[in-house]
Amino acid sequence: MITFSSAISILKNAQALAEKLKNRELNDALLSLQQELIGLGNQNLELKEKYDELKKYLEIPNDVYLDNDGFICRKNDTRKYCPHCWNKYRKFSLMPLEGVEVMDYLNLSKPYMYKCSACGHGVQSNKAYFKN
């Protein structure tokens, strides 16, 4: 497979040959082709950067997991993070340490609510508070 740098090198050699032959039209055509090739190289670099950014977004680090209450957690870290912020933005938004008791008229199995201050997403838990 040909690379952009080798294609530009071939074009430069062709331009040198066109100058020897004193063919201005051929030289102009080769120059236009070289400019188009450079434009394609720039587009290729932009696409590679976007690909790398998306790849980082989709990959889940080895130290991130979802606990039994539905919080995002990190290994060796006692803090709890918002699952919505992680899933949507790949951001670690801290959840509060203390939950708010939910009225039990619904007979909820998880009576405490933790609301993310960044997005407002709520996670229910059996625990009234989490230690740091």
Query: What is the average per-residue pLDDT within 25-53?
Result: 88
- Residue 119 identity: C
Per-residue pLDDT of 77-96, as tens digits, reads 999 999 999 989 889 999 99
Exposure of 7 in the CB half-sphere (CA atoms within 13 A): 15
Predicted pLDDT at 16: 83
pLDDT band at 108 (very low <50, low <70, confident <90, very high): low
Q: Are 109 and 56 in contact (CB under 8 A)?
A: no
CB 76 within 8 A of CB 82: no
pLDDT at 64: 92
> Is residue 2 over pLDDT 80?
no
- Determine the pLDDT at residue 132: 58
What integer pLDDT is reported at residue 9 of this predicted model?
A: 83
